[in-house]
Amino acid sequence: MSKQVLVLNAGYEPLSLVSVRRAVVLLLREKAEMLEATQQMLKSTSYAMPVPLVIRLVHYVRLPHRRVPPTRAAIMLRDAYTCQYCDDKPGQASLTVDHVVPRSRGGDHAWSNLVTACKRCNQRKGNALPEDVGMHLIRRPFEPSYVALVLLSNPVAAERWEQLIGAKKESFLGATA
């Protein structure tokens, strides 16, 4: 059984990943509709329903701009578990978070100053600026949106969302033609 269900807003924007239990509650209270389900069934003595994979809220929910704190897990997720100096993917255990401008040199603990680095590159850079030791960033660090991190955290959910958006666009374009 899938452990997470993708929740879409009424306008098909991804909101979050929730447990199957939470998704079923939203469906039973008619606060959401099921867009995609598995072949597996949830059964009670008087009711059966397929296990949801993607649900959509019936009413649009306005959310304040969500800022995600720059945690180790979020930075590695943003950088796809890849060293931003040598483009190596050594595995999560061999990765570190590096301050591009070291804190001892006035660098802050912000999205724009934090990157994923392998241990070898982090040690080579040490307390210097990347250009001082002949290193260059593959990609400039940025603050990802909450939605991007939700989709990055579950590639299956991201793929299903893209398929749903594509189908929605096709049905819209077909209706106007």
Residue pLDDT, tens place only, 134-173: 999 999 999 987 777 776 776 766 677 677 766 665 554 4
Q: How does residue 38 score in pLDDT terms, banded at 50, 70 and 90?
A: confident
pTM: predicted TM-score of the whole model, two decimal places: 0.61
Asked if residue 158 belongs to a domain, the reply is: no
Q: Quote the number of domains for the chain.
A: 2
Same-domain pairing of 77 and 118:
yes
Measure the CA–CA gap between 31 and 24, rounded to whole angstroms: 10
Per-residue confidence (pLDDT) for residue 132, from 0 to 100: 94
Measure the CA–CA gap between 129 and 45, rounded to whole angstroms: 65
Question: Is 176 buried (19+), middle (13-18) or exposed (0-12) by CB count in 10 A?
Answer: exposed
Same-domain pairing of 108 and 77:
yes
pLDDT over 90 for what percent of the chain? Answer: 54
Contact 151, 159 (CB under 8 A): no
Per-chain mean pLDDT for the chain: 86
